[in-house]
Amino acid sequence: MSKRIIVSLWVCSLLGACALNTWPVAAQAVGGPEASAQNTAAPAVASLDASQGSTSLRPSREIGPTGDEMEPDAPAEATPAALETPAGPPPLPPCPVGAASLEGQVAVQICQRVRTDPPPTHLTVDGRALRSLESTIRFYAQREYRAGWLDASGGPSPAAEDLLKAVAEAEQEGLRSADYRPAELHKRLKAIQQQGSAAHPDALAEFDLLFTDTFLTYGSHLLAGRLPPRKVDPEWAIKPRARDLAVVLQEALAKETVSQSLRALRPREKGYVQLREVLRKYREVAAVGGWPTVVAGLAPGAQGPRVRDLRARLQASGDLSGSDAPNKSESAAFDKAVADAVRRFQKRHGLAETGTVNAETQAALNVPIAERIRQVELNLERWRWMPDDLGSRYILVNIPSFKMKVFEDDKRVIESNVVVGRRERQTPAFTANMAYLVLSPKWYVPRSIAVKDKLPQLRRSPHALARQGIRVFNSAGQEIRPGAVNWRAVSASNFSYQLRQDAGPSNALGGIKFMFPNPYNVYLHDTPSRELFSRNQRTFSSGCIRISNPVELAEYLLKFDPKWTRETIRTASTSGKQRVVNLPRTVPVYLLYWTAWVDEDGLANFRNDIYQRDKSMIRALYEGGGASGKKGA
């Protein structure tokens, strides 16, 4: 996250409220307007990162918050017991001996492949490496190496055919059936069916290993994605779902529910199901040739072939219904129905809803259908990186859409425009629980901003920061006069000061900040720079998320505490006295990066890849040595 920021000084002074290497601050919490003894914690020691050339800093009373100003300590990570050796996997059962039956001979062949000393780190069948080796070994060890896809006579069980049918559905999930080698599996299945009991135990063992590996690999992809999220998107820090797929396969074979068991591994969230339906519809459009190219400059009143192309384009994406189309014998007109359809399209793509085809709208209309299909596939993959259940009440920030939404019982109850991190200071994707909020917060200027933005101002004028309400403290935590320091002799390597902005109307955090402790020091907060919320592209922060309606969010979060009303929140947030309030109930917060999704109105939305994370996913999933398959369809 240590990405260099190059921005003009006035932008940083106006907009810089948060960076991802924020100093920790001494903290203790209260539960409401009146001090509470509940949920308090000992103050934490603030420090500057020594690796950045700074010195230790222990705040004194001059800098450290006291009483109800103090924020709760972040929960400490569990420390593993010293000298404790992690338990290894249980020993594998021995291979069968003296096997006379064909079933026993196949078990011996399987065992000889998966039970070796040392344990195998890779296993190949006909030159192809098994992709789920660990789960494959565990699966066979649990069943004493008996084949899973053969009957007692050596013939394929119905489960093998069921697996092939399930793999054929991979395209519906935005995956590629070719990745699971159906042609090879069909060929082996046909060969075993023809040979019957004459098949060699070695060939039967290979058949069984391949089908087992296919189930486990496809199941893993349905469950948690084709690749680990951090390998595809380094900024994604949400733990995917997990299952013991060896156990899932055992149960599927026992109950003869192979295809049903695989389908059950798919994400069950409504958003995934709806996006999968978008994929189906867009592939139907692609199958008949896609959509026409549209020219810019079209507005109500225009007529002719160019408008006819616009109508066809809007009909293809479902923005204009077929009943609104003019008779082919008539001249196509840009009428009210078309204007409404353009607005609908613009809304779905995060554009200004003008009802006319300007340059931005034309660019979005002319994105090829194959590119939109790929975008949907990428975001189906991101859904597979998500937890099983988002919760009955949660906050969701979709970074590319510049929106925050609060959901309760599957209904949106609050929506807010947000400002997110700049390209060089990106907002990460992760989840954490919101635990408390701070009213009239002070801003402890992150070191990155202090050195890169504020130090140059101090060099020009030692009193520059005082006009912004920013105080300077030395390494002992004592406030000092800025004019007493030769700032021209201070550099990034010897900067040993902490800067703190007083609470107030010009504070970079505004009147409220919302805390969900996380390793990135990212949070939601108010801002005095409210004019930025009216822009369509809102990448202006240093990583934190600025929200347009902080009082409304605070009122919602504190609704179970009768001491807090909209009026008391407004009063406390403008008092100039920092106050920390624990939430009666923690609320999950999800910071996500979705460039394609279906909203609560059932509309397919698309956004620009503001951080170029789609591009990195495409390289990893489709161009980085992945299995061959269709592109853009």
pLDDT digits (tens, 9 = 90+) for 161-170: 999 999 999 9
Q: What are phi and psi of 516, to 5 degrees?
A: -130, 90
Please indicate, yes or no, whether residues 29 and 137 belong to a single structural domain of this protein. no
Average pLDDT over residues 378-403: 96
Split at pLDDT 50, 70, 90, the class of 63 is: low
pLDDT at 185 over 90: yes
Q: Give bridge partners of residue 407 from the DSSP assignment.
A: 394, 412
Please indicate, yes or no, whether residues 352 and 223 belong to a single structural domain of this protein. no
What pLDDT is recorded for position 230?
A: 87
Please indicate, yes or no, whether residues 402 and 361 belong to a single structural domain of this protein. no
DSSP category for residue 575: S
Is 92 within a domain?
no
Query: How many percent of the chain have pLDDT more than 70?
Result: 83
Please indicate, yes or no, whether residues 159 and 280 belong to a single structural domain of this protein. no
What pLDDT is recorded for position 624?
A: 61
Is residue 349 within 8 A of residue 606, CB to CB? The reply is yes
pLDDT at 320 over 70: yes
Average pLDDT over residues 410-436: 95
Please indicate, yes or no, whether residues 405 and 452 belong to a single structural domain of this protein. yes
Lowest mean pLDDT among 23-37, 71-85, 299-313, 340-354: 23-37
What pLDDT is recorded for position 448?
A: 84
Please indicate, yes or no, whether residues 455 and 585 belong to a single structural domain of this protein. yes
Please indicate, yes or no, whether residues 358 and 409 belong to a single structural domain of this protein. no
What pLDDT is recorded for position 331?
A: 55
Average pLDDT over residues 70-78: 53
pLDDT at 119 over 60: yes
For residues 277 and 34, the model is more confident at 277
DSSP helix/strand/coil, 412: strand
pLDDT digits (tens, 9 = 90+) for 134-149: 999 999 999 999 999 9
Is 459 within a domain?
yes
Total domains present in the chain = 3
What pLDDT is recorded for position 402?
A: 97
What pLDDT is recorded for position 323?
A: 60
Please indicate, yes or no, whether residues 283 and 416 belong to a single structural domain of this protein. no
Which residues 6+ apart lie within 8 Å of 10 measured at CB?
Answer: none
Split at pLDDT 50, 70, 90, the class of 372 is: very high
Q: Which domain range does residue 323 map to?
A: 272-371
Estimate to the nearest angstrom the gap between the alpha carbon of 217 and the chain centroid: 23
Please indicate, yes or no, whether residues 276 and 346 belong to a single structural domain of this protein. yes
Split at pLDDT 50, 70, 90, the class of 62 is: very low
Please indicate, yes or no, whether residues 123 and 14 belong to a single structural domain of this protein. no
Where do runs of H (alpha helix) occur along 127-200?
133-142, 158-167, 182-195
Split at pLDDT 50, 70, 90, the class of 319 is: very high
Is 385 within a domain?
no
What pLDDT is recorded for position 322?
A: 76
pLDDT at 30 over 70: no
Is residue 511 within 8 A of residue 457, CB to CB? The reply is no
pLDDT digits (tens, 9 = 90+) for 49-61: 333 333 333 333 3
Split at pLDDT 50, 70, 90, the class of 329 is: very low
What pLDDT is recorded for position 612?
A: 94
Lowest mean pLDDT among 87-96, 293-302, 451-460, 533-542: 87-96
Average pLDDT over residues 502-514: 94
Residue 75 CB coordination number (10 Å): 9
Domain boundary among 241, 266, 291: 266
Domain boundary among 266, 288, 317: 266
Lowest mean pLDDT among 16-20, 82-86, 227-231, 244-248: 82-86
What pLDDT is recorded for position 326?
A: 53
pLDDT digits (tens, 9 = 90+) for 516-529: 999 998 999 999 99
Domain boundary among 312, 339, 371: 371
What pLDDT is recorded for position 235?
A: 79
**What CATH number is attached to the domain comprising 401?**
2.40.440.10
Please indicate, yes or no, whether residues 53 and 164 belong to a single structural domain of this protein. no
Which residues 6+ apart lie within 8 Å of 433 measured at CB?
Answer: 516, 586, 587, 588, 589
CA gap 508, 22 in Å, rounded: 14
pLDDT digits (tens, 9 = 90+) for 105-118: 999 999 999 999 89
What pLDDT is recorded for position 399?
A: 97
Chain mean pLDDT for the chain = 85
pLDDT at 626 over 50: no
Is 410 within a domain?
yes
Estimate to the nearest angstrom the gap between the alpha carbon of 420 and the chain centroid: 14
pLDDT at 375 over 70: yes
Token pair, residue 148, equals: 């899973």
**What CATH number is attached to the domain comprising 346?**
1.10.101.10
Split at pLDDT 50, 70, 90, the class of 222 is: very high
Please indicate, yes or no, whether residues 152 and 259 belong to a single structural domain of this protein. yes
Is 629 within a domain?
no
Distances (CA, A) of 404 to 284, 407, 467, 507, 521: 32, 10, 33, 22, 18
Is 351 within a domain?
yes
pLDDT at 413 over 70: yes
Encode burial over 185-215: b for 16+ CB neighbours within 10 A, e otherwise: beebbeebeeeeeebebebbbbbbbbbbbbb
Is 617 within a domain?
no
What pLDDT is recorded for position 574?
A: 95
Is 180 within a domain?
yes
